């Protein structure tokens, strides 16, 4: 099973993103815009995980979620990997509370559960908007989306997804766990 842990923005936030990118969809040859059901903020990519590791991974992700409080975040701006001039991925950025500690916990849960950890790159929170098979110059597109500022929202849940690849990629939620509420004085 191909698995990853993620946070999914609420529908109203995704509505804003959809409106922001709508004028650009289909305008750059070679740039594929995956459907909205695939939009998420990846915290940990596990790659192929043996089925026997799933129960332990779920237990460890539940523990990780309960150790972290709800996060205040927003989607803002745009960028590209590896650079706007030589891009294969166009993304919306994330501002607010850093997701780094939660991502570190999700990665650690995978390692301890025996999930194959294939993504050891430095964590850079983002929402993937579009992909290309070859390097594209997306500087104009990144600049056009630079002013995007979404409504702040609370990341309240950590989710585990299974990725079904093929002509139409789809993600199946295998579990979700609430983050701890923020303690107010």
- To the query of whether residue 40 is one of the catalytic residues in this protein, the response is yes
How far is Cα 128 from Cα 32, in angstroms, rounded to an integer?
A: 11
DSSP code at position 159? E
Long-range contacts, 23-32 (Cβ 8 Å, 24+): 24/141, 24/144, 24/145, 28/130, 28/136, 28/138, 28/141, 30/132, 30/133, 30/134, 30/136, 31/90, 31/130, 31/131, 31/132, 31/136, 31/138, 32/130, 32/131, 32/132
Burial class (CB in 10 A: 0-12, 13-18, 19+), 26: exposed
164 catalytic per annotation: no
Q: What does DSSP say about strands 157-164 and 87-96: parallel, antiparallel, or unpaired?
A: unpaired
Please tell me which residue in 66, 124, 126, 164 is annotated as part of the active site.
126
Active site residues: 40, 126
């Amino acid at each position: 099973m191909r698995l990853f842990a993620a946070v999914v923005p609420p529908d109203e936030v995704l509505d804003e993103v959809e409106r922001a990118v709508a004028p650009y969809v289909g305008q750059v040859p070679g740039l594929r815009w995956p459907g909205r059901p695939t939009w998420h903020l990846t915290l940990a990519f596990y790659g192929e995980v043996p089925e026997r590791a799933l129960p332990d991974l779920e237990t460890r992700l539940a523990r990780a979620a309960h150790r972290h409080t709800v996060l205040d975040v927003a989607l803002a701006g745009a960028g590209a990997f590896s650079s706007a001039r030589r891009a294969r991925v166009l993304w919306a950025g994330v501002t607010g509370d850093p997701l780094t500690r939660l991502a570190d916990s999700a990665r650690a849960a995978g390692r301890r559960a025996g999930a194959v950890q294939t993504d050891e790159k430095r964590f850079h929170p983002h929402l993937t908007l579009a992909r290309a098979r070859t390097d594209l110059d997306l500087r104009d597109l990144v600049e056009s989306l630079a002013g995007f500022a979404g409504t702040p929202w609370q990341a309240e849940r950590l989710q585990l997804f299974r990725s079904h690849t093929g002509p139409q990629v789809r993600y199946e939620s295998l579990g979700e766990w609430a983050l701890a509420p923020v303690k107010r004085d």
